[in-house]
Amino acid sequence: MSELLLLFLYCALLGSGVGFLAGLLGIGGGLVIVPVLTSILLSFGSLPSQHVVIVAIATSLASILFTSTSSAIAHHKNGNVPWDLAPWIMTGVALGALISGFMAALLPEDVVRSVFAVSVVLIALKMFYSSRKNDAETNRQLPNKGVLTLLTTITGGLSAMIGIGGGALLVPLLTFFSLDMKKAIGCASACGIVIALFGSVGYISSGSAHFALADGFLGFVYLPALFGIVCTSWFTAPLGAKATHHLPVPTIKKVFAILLLAMAANMVMS
The count of other CB atoms within 10 Å of the CB of residue 244 is 13
Q: What is the largest CA-CA distance in the chain?
A: 59
What pLDDT is attached to residue 138? 59
Q: Give dist(CA 105, CA 205) in Å, integer.
A: 10
Q: Give dist(CA 3, CA 205) in Å, integer.
A: 27
Residue 255 burial (C-beta neighbours within 10 Å; 0-12, 13-18, 19+): exposed
What pLDDT is attached to residue 58? 93
Kind plus residue range of the DSSP H or E element containing 222:
strand 221-222
Q: Give dist(CA 206, CA 101) in Å, integer.
A: 8
What pLDDT is attached to residue 250? 74
Residues in the chain: 270
What pLDDT is attached to residue 10? 96
**H helix intervals, 129-222:** 145-162, 167-176, 181-207
The count of other CB atoms within 10 Å of the CB of residue 49 is 11
What pLDDT is attached to residue 133? 54
Whether the Cβ atoms of residue 67 and residue 233 lie closer than 8 Å to each other: yes
Q: pTM of the full predicted structure?
A: 0.80
Average pLDDT per consecutive 10 residues, the chain (270 residues; last block may be shorter): 88 90 70 89 85 92 84 80 88 90 75 80 76 55 87 89 79 82 82 88 89 92 95 83 72 75 72
Residue 203 burial (C-beta neighbours within 10 Å; 0-12, 13-18, 19+): buried
Selection from 97, 83, 107 nearest residue 30 by Cα: 97
Whether the Cβ atoms of residue 151 and residue 166 lie closer than 8 Å to each other: no
Q: Give dist(CA 204, CA 124) in Å, integer.
A: 29
Selection from 270, 36, 20, 25 nearest residue 126 by Cα: 25
What pLDDT is attached to residue 136? 44
